[in-house]
Each structure stands twice: as structure tokens, then as C-alpha cells.
Structure 1
Amino acid sequence: MTQQHDSHSLGNVHNTVTTENKTGWRKLLSFLGPAYLVSVGYMDPGNWATDLAAGSQFGYKLIWVLLLSNLIALLLQNLCVRLGIVRGLDLAQASKNTYPPFVNFCLYVMAQIAIVACDLAEIIGMAIGLNLLFGLPLIWGVSITLLDTLLLLLLLNKGMRKLEGFIISLIFIVGVAFLAQMFIVKPQMIDVAKGFIPTKLNSQALYIAIGIIGATVMPHNLYLHSSLVQTRKIDRSEEGIKTAIKYNFWDTTIALNLAFFVNAAILILAAAAFYYRGYHEVAEIQDAHKLLTNIFGKLAPALFAIALIAAGQSSTVTGTLAGQIIMEGHLNLRIAPWLRRLLTRLLAIIPAFFTILHAGDEGLGKLLILSQVVLSLQLGFAVIPLIHFTSDKKRMGQFANSIPMKAAAWFFAVIIVGLNVQLVIQEIGDWAKSGPDSAQLVHFVIVPIAIGIGVLMLYVFLRPLLYKHVNQPIQVPHGLASTLDNLEAIQYKQIGITIDFSKNDQDTIRHALMQGGKRAHYNLIHVVETAGARYYGKQVMDSETQSDVDNLDKYVTTLTDLGYKAEAKIGYGGAATAIAQIAKETEIDFLVMGSHGHKVLKDLIFGTTVDAVRHKVNVPVLVVKPQKK
């Protein structure tokens, strides 16, 4: 029978990577992967802008801020690992179980806006990279990123390991590109080492530091990591959970330290190439590329552009995965994968597209900064619930956060939320000063929205403290498994069989007869999908329709001669709708369908009738896969 879509997070790849019966390095390697997908969010084009500004304005002095950001990220991502492994929930699903529907919907909207903002940064970064490397106009570069939806769909259909391999390859390209640039710019390593010592920050340096932290710890990574760790099939015993947490800790540590290396390399590159040569106002990615060309020739800027494309491409893949997680977790809504990813990408492409049309290429830099501010607004709505969920001893048991870990987590949360609130206030203030029209918009629209968001964040913080919930069921897209208390065989009376006059019909009919024997009544269903049938329905009787009726009658006659009760049912127009209508009118209680066997591309073109029918009928559906001859 068709399996209902897996109720787990990222159900199509849940528990698909085996970790059991492995030891030593093989065991560790089986767990490596999820954190690498997460780590790309820590080295996306949004990080590049803040790192370039930090290095060009302050040299190596803010490397310690990058290190602090990395330590915060390590703690928060490991909390996500605990939530996903111990409770088997991603962050969105856990929020769904804790907060009222309206608040939960608001959390979904905030998370979706953040993911669109993140996706926007990846689109801009990749478009700029293509422009720098090939001279492709930015508007064409933005349009090309629409193809990422097809790439992600293809990779997911190939399996989780293939997707992880693709992302790790792109990260490797980024790392090698910056390693090569380090040899070209030749930084002063003694000065670099001094940059790890914390120093007092003036107002300008504090603003850059806030930007670094805001761009580093991204909300979509918290949703993503809590889901990705569930792709590993583990032993659910106490010892098995401890082992999974340990290996995922190493996965996270290695991956995020690699992301720290990339961010530090960008900052060091900017410091060595610009700060110490008197270029102190380099914040635009395009400006950095031009200066690299003037100072070092063609090799360094080419490596810079290649790394930018790889970072944008890898980050956009993980961003669309996070979009799937929050939609399914918060709303119990699961739509076709290609459609969901296309919608996410369109929501990000549209503002980038119109920015280029109205503000020119220069407007993209400002839009990139705005996307980071939007991300800052959402961060608290992911961090605060995460700490609450992983500190809950009733649900986490012995794996709940220890007192020192809880104290560190809340301390970092206060820093993150406080600094990001300061960043948002600063941006709103600058916006209000830009002109009288902007001031009115800020005072009457932006400020009330910001206040409303602040009240929502306070509620998100207080609700788990004030209300000790009973253990609510996990609300997932297709519900929970029922208690098995009656396993007697079911006698089907009306069985529907979909017929398409292909070589698969024999197997489909044979499996249907196995379900009902000679007791049941069989309804052979065929849908005529010609243009005439779609418009005129039963009134049409063209040559194809007449041929289909005759062929269906032959099947009925054959079954009747063998002693079975059979009847022909012809539908018209869309296959899924017609089949569902016949099933309802005939009171069919069991439906047998033949699988078309389409691959990824054909599914995109022709659609999946089986999935569509399954959502339109309320009876069991048996899908018969074509037998290989």
C-alpha cells in the first residue's frame, strides 16, 4: 500500500543513513554530514559583507568576535542535535506542540520571512559571483538561480549522502580558494594572532561586531540541524542516544570550525589586502573584487569569485531545505517538493529582481544588508524556544541541559538578542533620518510592527515558564500511528482498479484479485484525458474514447468468464479528479493503482497521479510497481 508521507521531519530522507553495526572510523564517518550542510549558513554571502567591512576598517582586531560567534554557534547547534536525537522532533515541530495556534502561526511567518531573507542573500551573492567571473549581468544571474530548485530536487531523490557529498564538495572549493588567497596576500601572522585577544570596541567597531554575530548565528540553521540529525538511523537505547550525541558533537565541531576558518580567511584577506594598504571603506563585495584585481592581478579575484559562487550555491540548497522543515513542522502542511522550493525561491528572487530594475546594481548591496537585519529580527524566536525545549527534564530526561550549559545558553541568548535588537534600532533610526517620507513610514508602520514583534518575543519566552504542559501528542503533517488493537482481515466489497492499457495492467489486476477474491465486486476504471474529454466530458465520443471503451469491455468480459464480478467505469478529464469521483460514486472501499515508474524529470512534467489520488480519497490505496522483465 502507499505509505502515507512519513510523519517525521524531512520524511523522505528520515532514518535513511545507517549507523548501526559500525565501529571506529566507519562509525564516525556514518554520522558526518548534517553539520556540513548547516555550516554553509555560517559562510554565506551575508557573512562576506560583514567580514570584509571588519577586515578593511579594523585590520585583524575583530577576529576574536568571529571566534566568540563560533563558540555561540557550537553551543546552539549542539542543543539542536540533542532536540532532534532525544525527542525525535525538529525545532518547528517542538514549537507546534508548545505554543497556541495563533502564536505558532506567527512563529511560522517570522521563520519564513527569515528564510526568504537568507535565500535573498544567497541569490545576490551568486549573481554577483557570476558577474565578477563571467561578466554576466546581475539580472541574468538572479534569474539563473531559479534553476536551483531543480538541482535540489534531483539531489534529494539521489539520497541524503549524495546531497551531503555535493555540499561538502562546494565547501572544499571555498576553503581551497581562500587558502590559495592567503598565500597570495601574505598576512602578518603575529598581528593575526594578536587579533584573538579581546579589545575594547568603539561605536563603529561595535556596529560591525553586531553585524558579524547577527550574520553568523542564523535562525534557519537551528531548524535545519534539529531535522538533519534525524536522517541517521540509530539505536534508540540510552547508550545508543549517548553515542549519537557524541558523534554528532564531533561532526558539528569539525564543520563549524571549518566555517570559522573561511570567515577568518575573508577577514584576514580584507585586512592584509585593504586595511594595511590604506583602503579602509571596503564593504561592497564588488569593490573588494576590483581592489584585488588592481593589487594582485587576476588570480586572487578569480578565486574570490569562484568561492562566492560555491558559497551562494551551497547555502541556497540548505535554505530551501529549512523552508520545507518550517512549513511541515509549524503548519502541518506538506506540498509537492518542487513547488515548495519554487515558491521559496520566487519570494526571494522578486525583491532582488525589482531592486536591480529600480535601484540598479548598486542597490543589491543595500538589499544584502537589509536581509541581515531581517534575519536579526527572527533569531530570538528560534534561540529562546530551543533553550526551553532542551532544558525540559520531563521530556528530555537525563539528556536535558545541565545547569552550566543552561546558564551559558541563556547568557549567549541575551547577548544575541540584545545585540541584534541594538542593530535593528540603529537601522530603524538611520531609516527615519533619511527623509520626511521615510520618517512617517517608520513612525506609523515600522515602529508598531517592531513593538508587536517585541511583545511576541516576550510571550515566547514566558509561555513555557508559566504553563507546565502535559505531554501533548506530536502534531505532524499526517498524524500519529493508531493503537493496534484489531488485526483481523478486512473483507473488501467494492474494489477499484485503475487501467491505462499498458503492460502494467496485468500485474495491477492480479494484485487486486488477491485482495478480494471472488467475493468482491471489481470496478475497472479508465480515464480519457483527450482535449475533448476535458471540455465535454461524457458527451465526447471520439475515436480514442471509443477505443478505450471497447478495450475496457474486453477486460471486463475476461474477468467475468473467469468467475469474477466486474464492471467498466469510464472517467473524463483530469485523471486524479475523475478517479476520485468514480471511487466516491461507486462507494469503493479499496483502490489498486499501477505506478507509472516516472523518474524526477518526468514527475515534474507529467505529475504524480498516485499522490494526487491518495489525497482525494479516504480509502486504502495499493500501488503496484511495474515488474522488471
Structure 2
Amino acid sequence: MDARSPGLASESSAEVAPTAPDGLGWRGERGDPSLAGMFASVRTARDGSFGRKLLAFLGPGYLVAVGYMDPGNWATSLAGGSKFGYALLTIALLSNVMAIVLQSLCTRLGVGAGRDLAQACRDAFPRWVAFPLWLSAEIAITATDLAEVIGTAIGLNLLFHIPLEIGVIITALDVFLILALQAFGFRWIEAFVVAMLGVIAACFAVQIALADPDWGAVIRGFAPTTEILRNPEMLYLALGILGATVMPHNLYLHSGLVQTRGYGPSLAERREAITLANIDSAIALCLALTINASILILAGATFHRTGRTDVAELDQAHAFLAPLLGSTLAPTLFAIALLCCGLNSTITATLSGQIVMEGFLNWRIAPWLRRLVTRLIAIVPAVVVTIWAGEKATGQLLILSQVVLSLQLPFAVVPLVMFTADRTKMGPFTAPRWLTVAAALIAALIIALNAKLVFDLIVR
């Protein structure tokens, strides 16, 4: 299927395809590119103003940003805001800074080495190392999909009163949305995602205006506090937010998505492509921070302020918004935004799953089949929990899925830092020392926090 966007990619892929540096320290050929049908399908501007060039690169960052505000993040942010007010805003900010740094390494790997993270792992590591890394990535994608299944089903329930068990099964049909968008080209996928993000942002803007938070307390919430480390419950939620913000599958996703752009093969063109792609992701991640902070602020301004410190369920939040804000519009907007988040997340989960499977295993199956497999893996536990424990357990399952993501992060972050710091692999696109140091500190912090979380869970 030709996935190129009409009017954007009139040149052949061979003329505009990203090319990996030759003679570098990879063990073998890259093999077939990620997302082969969309590889180099979006034509970029070789000449003209900086704004015109940037416009061609805007898009992948927003697909990556979707992973930073998926339904799983809603549960952790709602729980954190209702329990601790605005205190965890500092974690949302820290997570966003980490995300910008790590995603910049993804663009460097994808453009500079011409490989996505999965391909790089397969090429650089022996099979006994690459296989566990693939398994870890699949677990992360399954945890992501689990959050999307539950979040989308809850959105359908809140808006249309569809039972959760039925809503969970309906989510398997979203594969047809992906297929329809792919038929028109990659730019249509990006346009759909951006449109959904606009709806989500508008919904939260209205809800925040209705909640009228204490903006002085909100600003103070962005300041770091050691209480997060001293309070195991706060740390647990903080790690949940971290896992929902810096997501393992996004590192694989971004390193593949940047290769949908048809930048030229020269060093100058690839350096410019890295710069433009980094600007794209930074803008998109700032939007993600705004939405994530809005969820937490809304919970703090409504639930925490009125003494409801135990709100962790999405349907709970929906039910409480109307009486607390005095408007029936607020819960409807909340449900619409949640459903849009679920729909958006289905796209990014499909693409990241495809990149991981193709990159690690060099095994290509139809995207619709890949989507059904991952979705069915997520549907089974979601249906079991919903039927066995009822709606009350879905929020806890969402939070748990985000902690699982956080625990999987080092297995994606460490190889990414290693590859982009290796001059034999990256050549002139090797990450600057300051960037490598910053990314290594982020990786160390994530591993240390995860170790403390596991210790606290064991000794409880």
C-alpha cells in the first residue's frame, strides 16, 4: 500500500529516503526500514524559509506526545491530585524535561544512524540480550494497550452508557480506524491526532476555568519537595506519573517515525533534520505537559480542595465533577476528552508495536493483525478484572499499568543512551557529551526510583 501523502511526496523514496552513515560500527545492514509503507513518504522542503522547512517536520512529535497523556496517565494524575493537591506537579514537569532529552536522542538515532531503537538493539546485541529487550518492549506495549482499553471503554460508558465489558470488546474494532487513515497517507494520521489533541486541550481549558484553582498554589506545586521520597504512597503515584509520561514504547516509536520524512542523505541535510525534528517534539511535549498538568490541577482544585482525597477512578471523577463545579458540562467534556485520548493512543500503540516487532524480529505481519494480537492480549485481563472485581478496580489497574511501564523504562533508555554516545556507531551524529551526561543521569534516576519503589512494595 502506498502510504504517501498526496501532494507531499512526489519524489520516489529512493531519491529522498534517509540513509544511514556508511562504514560505522554496526554488525550488519539495517535491513528493511521501519514502517516500510510510510518510509520517507513525506516530502520535506529543501529550500525556503525556516518556517516552511519546520512545517514539513511537524507531526511525529504529536504522535509521540499522545503517549504522554494516554488514559493511564489520567488515573495516576487524578489519584495524585486528589490525594496530594498540586504537590506532584513537580513530577509532571520533571518527567517532561526527561522526555524532551530522551526523545532528542531518538531523533538522533533515527536520522543519524538510519535505525530505529529496535533495529539498533537487534544489530548491536547478541540474541540472548536482544530477546529479553524485545520481551520487555512487548510487555510495555501491552501495559500501554491495557490502559487504552480501559480508558476507551470508560469513555464509551460515560458518554453512551455502554457497559464496560461490552466497551472493552468494542475497542478491538478500532483497528479499522488505523487502516482507513493509512490508506490516505501518513499526513492524515498526523492530522487526526492533532485534531484530537485540540479537542482534548479545549475540553480541559473549559474545565479548568470552571474549577478556578488557586494559581499561587499551582505555581508552588512545580517546586521540588523531598516529601515525595519520604512518603511511599506519594512515590508510588510519582512513579506512576513518570511511567505515564516517559514511556518505553515512545522511544521505539519516535526513532521510527522521524524516518517518515524524506530528508536528503548529506550530513548538512541530516543535521538540519535532527534540529527540526527536535523542535517538533519539544513543542508537542510542551502541549502534553499542559494537558497532564491540567488533569492534576483539575483534581486538586475540585477533589482535594473539598476533602475527596481518594478519587482514583475515572468514572468517580466524572460523577463528582458536576456537583463540585455546579455544571453538567464539565463531566461531558471530561468524557469526550477521555474518549479522544483513547482513540489517539490506539494509533501510537499500533505503530510502536509494528516498529518493535519488525525491528527486533525482522518479522513483518499485516498492521491489522498486529493490532488485533496486541489488543486481544490487553482485552483478556481487562475483561477478567472488570467482570470479577467490577468497575471499582479499573482505576487501580490503570495505575498499576503505569508503574509497570516505569519499571520497563531502563531497558529502553540504557541502550538508547549507549548507542547515541558511541562514535563508532553514530559517527558525526554522536550525541554531545553534555547531552549524554544528562541522559545518563536521567537513566540513573529512573533506575534508582524504580529500585526504591520495588523495595517499598516488598517491605510493606
TM-score normalised per structure 1: 0.66
Distance 1:265 1:42 in 2: 13
Asked if 1 retains the 8 angstrom alpha-carbon contact of 2:148 and 2:345, the reply is yes
Instruction: Write out per-residue CA displacement over residues 2-55 of structure 1, whole angstroms, 9 at most, x where no aligned residue.
Output: 99xx81011110000000334222211100000100101100111111111221
Q: Which amino acid aligns with 2:117?
A: L
Distance 1:130 1:415 in 2: 38
Distance 2:77 2:421 in 1: 33
Give the gaps of 5 or more residues in structure 2.
Answer: 3-12, 14-30
Query: Are positions 1:385 and 2:411 aligned together?
Result: no
Deviation of the 1:61 alpha carbon: 2.1
Task: Specify the alignment match of 2:262 in structure 1.
Answer: 233
Deviation of the 1:428 alpha carbon: 5.1
Deviation of the 1:199 alpha carbon: 2.1
Q: Which amino acid aligns with 1:189?
A: W
Deviation of the 1:358 alpha carbon: 1.9
Distance 1:200 1:363 in 2: 30
1:75 aligned to which of 55, 79, 101: 101
Deviation of the 1:62 alpha carbon: 2.0
Secondary structure at the aligned position of 1:107 is classed as helix
Distance 1:147 1:429 in 2: 42
Task: Specify the alignment match of 1:528 in structure 2.
Answer: none
Query: Are positions 1:28 and 2:54 aligned together?
Result: yes
Distance 1:277 1:368 in 2: 24
Distance 1:255 1:87 in 2: 24
Pairwise CA RMSD: 1.6
Over 3 Å counting, the alpha-carbon distance change for 1:140 and 1:412 in structure 2 is: same
Deviation of the 1:425 alpha carbon: 4.0
Distance 2:397 2:305 in 1: 29
1:130 aligned to which of 136, 156, 181: 156
Distance 1:150 1:190 in 2: 46
Asked if 2 retains the 8 angstrom alpha-carbon contact of 1:373 and 1:424, the reply is no
25-34 or 419-428: bigger deviation: 419-428
Distance 1:279 1:405 in 2: 42
Q: Which amino acid aligns with 1:258?
A: L
Query: Are positions 1:90 and 2:116 aligned together?
Result: yes
Query: Are positions 1:10 and 2:35 aligned together?
Result: yes
Task: Specify the alignment match of 1:338 in structure 2.
Answer: 368
Q: Which amino acid aligns with 1:9?
A: S
Task: Specify the alignment match of 1:273 in structure 2.
Answer: 302
Asked if 2 retains the 8 angstrom alpha-carbon contact of 1:377 and 1:424, the reply is no
Secondary structure at the aligned position of 1:88 is classed as coil
Task: Specify the alignment match of 2:9 in structure 1.
Answer: none
Q: Which amino acid aligns with 1:16?
A: S
Counterpart mapping for 1:455-604 below 5 A: none
Q: Which amino acid aligns with 1:371?
A: S
Distance 2:381 2:87 in 1: 35
Asked if 1 retains the 8 angstrom alpha-carbon contact of 2:145 and 2:375, the reply is yes
Instruction: Write out per-residue CA displacement over residues 537-559 of structure 1, whole angstroms, 9 at most, x where no aligned residue.
Output: xxxxxxxxxxxxxxxxxxxxxxx
1:351 aligned to which of 375, 381, 402: 381
Distance 2:307 2:395 in 1: 22
Q: Which amino acid aligns with 1:421?
A: A
Asked if 2 retains the 8 angstrom alpha-carbon contact of 1:39 and 1:256, the reply is yes
Asked if 1 retains the 8 angstrom alpha-carbon contact of 2:118 and 2:356, the reply is yes
Instruction: Write out per-residue CA displacement over residues 106-158 of structure 1, whole angstroms, 9 at most, x where no aligned residue.
Output: 21111111101100100100111111122111011111111111111221121
Q: Which amino acid aligns with 1:285?
A: L
Q: Which amino acid aligns with 1:222?
A: L
Deviation of the 1:168 alpha carbon: 0.7
Task: Specify the alignment match of 2:25 in structure 1.
Answer: none
2:207 aligned to which of 178, 181, 206: 181
Counterpart mapping for 1:208-227 below 5 A: 208-227=237-256
Asked if 2 retains the 8 angstrom alpha-carbon contact of 1:43 and 1:259, the reply is yes
Instruction: Write out per-residue CA displacement over residues 499-528 of structure 1, whole angstroms, 9 at most, x where no aligned residue.
Output: xxxxxxxxxxxxxxxxxxxxxxxxxxxxxx
Task: Specify the alignment match of 2:427 in structure 1.
Answer: 397
Task: Specify the alignment match of 2:24 in structure 1.
Answer: none
1:19 aligned to which of 44, 54, 60: 44
Asked if 1 retains the 8 angstrom alpha-carbon contact of 2:313 and 2:394, the reply is no
Deviation of the 1:274 alpha carbon: 1.3
Task: Specify the alignment match of 1:283 in structure 2.
Answer: 312
Task: Specify the alignment match of 1:317 in structure 2.
Answer: 347
Instruction: Write out per-residue CA displacement over residues 190-237 of structure 1, whole angstroms, 9 at most, x where no aligned residue.
Output: 221122222221413333222211221110000000000000000221
Deviation of the 1:303 alpha carbon: 0.6
Distance 1:382 1:88 in 2: 18
Task: Specify the alignment match of 1:586 in structure 2.
Answer: none
Q: Which amino acid aligns with 2:48?
A: T
Distance 1:257 1:424 in 2: 30
Q: Which amino acid aligns with 1:207?
A: Y
Query: Are positions 1:376 and 2:406 aligned together?
Result: yes
Count residues with an aligned counterpart.
Answer: 427
Q: Which amino acid aligns with 1:176?
A: A
Distance 1:328 1:120 in 2: 22
Task: Specify the alignment match of 2:391 in structure 1.
Answer: 361
Task: Specify the alignment match of 1:576 in structure 2.
Answer: none
Deviation of the 1:57 alpha carbon: 1.7
Task: Specify the alignment match of 2:18 in structure 1.
Answer: none
1:253 aligned to which of 279, 282, 288: 282
Distance 1:428 1:140 in 2: 36
Distance 2:355 2:171 in 1: 21
Q: Specify the structure having the higher radius of gyration (Cα).
A: 1
Distance 1:48 1:409 in 2: 26
Asked if 1 retains the 8 angstrom alpha-carbon contact of 2:321 and 2:330, the reply is yes
Asked if 1 retains the 8 angstrom alpha-carbon contact of 2:242 and 2:406, the reply is no
Asked if 2 retains the 8 angstrom alpha-carbon contact of 1:28 and 1:247, the reply is yes
Distance 2:190 2:82 in 1: 34
Secondary structure at the aligned position of 1:198 is classed as coil
- Stretches of 4+ aligned residues off by more than 3 angstroms: 424-430
Deviation of the 1:429 alpha carbon: 5.2
Instruction: Write out per-residue CA displacement over residues 585-609 of structure 1, whole angstroms, 9 at most, x where no aligned residue.
Output: xxxxxxxxxxxxxxxxxxxxxxxxx
Query: Are positions 1:147 and 2:173 aligned together?
Result: yes
Asked if 2 retains the 8 angstrom alpha-carbon contact of 1:376 and 1:421, the reply is no
Instruction: Write out per-residue CA displacement over residues 215-274 of structure 1, whole angstroms, 9 at most, x where no aligned residue.
Output: 211100000000000000002211111110111111011000000000000111011111
Distance 2:170 2:456 in 1: 34
Q: Which amino acid aligns with 1:411?
A: L
Distance 1:304 1:137 in 2: 18
Asked if 1 retains the 8 angstrom alpha-carbon contact of 2:108 and 2:431, the reply is no
Asked if 2 retains the 8 angstrom alpha-carbon contact of 1:64 and 1:195, the reply is yes
Over 3 Å counting, the alpha-carbon distance change for 1:341 and 1:79 in structure 2 is: same
Larger RCO of the pair (alpha carbons < 8 Å, separation 6+): 2
Distance 2:305 2:397 in 1: 29
Deviation of the 1:95 alpha carbon: 0.1
Over 3 Å counting, the alpha-carbon distance change for 1:124 and 1:428 in structure 2 is: farther
**Kindly, what percent of the aligned residue pairs are identical?**
52
Q: Which amino acid aligns with 1:136?
A: I
Asked if 1 retains the 8 angstrom alpha-carbon contact of 2:239 and 2:406, the reply is no
Counterpart mapping for 1:190-201 below 5 A: 190-201=216-227
TM-score normalised per structure 2: 0.90
Task: Specify the alignment match of 1:503 in structure 2.
Answer: none
